[in-house]
Amino acid sequence: MKMRIDVISAVPDSLISPLNTSIIKRAKERNKVEIVVHNLRDYAHDKHKQIDDKPFGGGPGMLLKPEPFFECIEKLLNERKYDHVIYPSPGGKFYDQKMANKFSLAKNILIIAGHYKGIDDRVRQKFATDEISIGRYILTGGEIAAMVIIDSVVRLLPGVLNDSESALNDSLMDGDIIEAPYYTRPAEFNNMKIPEVLLSGHEKKIKEWKEEQSKNLTDKWKKINNLE
Ligand code: ADE
């Protein structure tokens, strides 16, 4: 099955390069996902193609106007059903691996990326099914959050990663687990040696070492992040 992801943005160019690189590029080439970026300005019809305006009630900055979003979203909703209409926003639910797993089961996803100070709230009220924050900080727009969501979802689609890259082994995949560190050749570099056990060829010892490292790193990670 091929997933379709639509993204609406006032700065679509900012998405082009990351969507045509590495694993996402490969996923498109393997026909696992189709990603369509819509330029909000194409849906503005006044002579200046204006997509932003001053906020009612005052305050600094400009807001994205509702009409171009409504026109673009309604057109897309007429064409197909979307499992999720995602609105990235600092006010949303914190994004995590569980949500990525859930989104990866969808057939069609629509992401509404806001820019400038935000979007007229009627767009969110009318269309958003999932309001998502990627962390407790403010970005200049929803595009980078959209990229984070797309990247984390696309790599989970069957046939996107090769076996050796399998998402099943990932940290955080089966709960909050941080993996042991990895090393490659040379075994000694810059006066830094890799842990001896990894050179031992002793499978059981290596497995035990990895489990111990993983447990220690997970405990440390929980502590520095005030979890549990
Ligand atoms: N837009 C601006 N900041 C954001 C954040 N932290 N998460 C999602 N969307 C955003």
How many structural domains is the chain composed of? 2
Query: What does the pLDDT average to over 102-128?
Result: 94
Report if residue 166 sits inside a domain.
Answer: no
Report the pLDDT value the prediction gives residue 115, as an integer from 0 to 100. Answer: 79
Contact 156, 100 (CB under 8 A): yes
Report the pLDDT value the prediction gives residue 99, as an integer from 0 to 100. Answer: 97
Whole-angstrom distance, CA of residue 18 vs CA of residue 13: 10
DSSP tag of 136: S
Tell me the CA distances in angstroms from 110 to 85, 160, 188, one per residue in order.
5, 20, 48
Backbone dihedral region for residue 22 (phi beyond 0: left; psi -120 to 50: alpha; all else: beta)? left
Q: Does 33 lie in the same domain as 135? A: yes
Report the pLDDT value the prediction gives residue 173, as an integer from 0 to 100. Answer: 64
Domain range spanning residue 53?
3-154
Q: Does 112 lie in the same domain as 9? A: yes
Report the pLDDT value the prediction gives residue 168, as an integer from 0 to 100. Answer: 66
The CATH number for 208's domain is 1.10.1270.20
The reply to whether ligand 1 has any atom less than 6 angstroms from the CB of 90 is yes
Task: Report residue 127's pLDDT band, with 50, 70 and 90 as the boundaries.
Answer: very high
Contact 156, 104 (CB under 8 A): yes
- When the pLDDT of each residue in the chain is averaged and rounded to a whole number, the result is 94
The reply to whether ligand 1 has any atom less than 6 angstroms from the CB of 18 is no
Say if residue 169's pLDDT is above 70: no
The reply to whether ligand 1 has any atom less than 6 angstroms from the CB of 135 is yes
Task: Report residue 98's pLDDT band, with 50, 70 and 90 as the boundaries.
Answer: very high
Say if residue 171's pLDDT is above 90: no
Q: Which of 11, 139, 144, 148 to mutate to test the pocket of ligand 1 (most atoms within 8 A of CB)?
A: 139
Query: What does the pLDDT average to over 197-205?
Result: 98
For the chain, how many residues are written? 228
Say if residue 7's pLDDT is above 90: yes
Contact 17, 11 (CB under 8 A): no
Report if residue 140 sits inside a domain.
Answer: yes
The reply to whether ligand 1 has any atom less than 6 angstroms from the CB of 177 is no
Residue 112 token pair = 């509404």
The CATH number for 67's domain is 3.40.1280.10
Half-sphere exposure (CA, 13 Å, Cβ side) for 79?
11
Residue 3 token pair = 């997933």
Report the pLDDT value the prediction gives residue 163, as an integer from 0 to 100. Answer: 78
Query: What does the pLDDT average to over 153-159?
Result: 95
Q: Does 191 lie in the same domain as 137? A: no
Report the pLDDT value the prediction gives residue 150, as an integer from 0 to 100. Answer: 98
Residue 18 token pair = 């990351």
Report the pLDDT value the prediction gives residue 116, as an integer from 0 to 100. Answer: 60
Q: Render pLDDT for 37-81 as a digit per residue (tens, 0 to 9).
A: 999 999 999 999 999 999 999 998 899 999 999 999 999 999 999
Report if residue 167 sits inside a domain.
Answer: no
Report if residue 169 sits inside a domain.
Answer: no
Task: Report residue 95's pLDDT band, with 50, 70 and 90 as the boundaries.
Answer: very high
Say if residue 164's pLDDT is above 90: no
Task: Quote the percentage of the chain above a pLDDT of 70.
Answer: 96
Contact 31, 42 (CB under 8 A): no
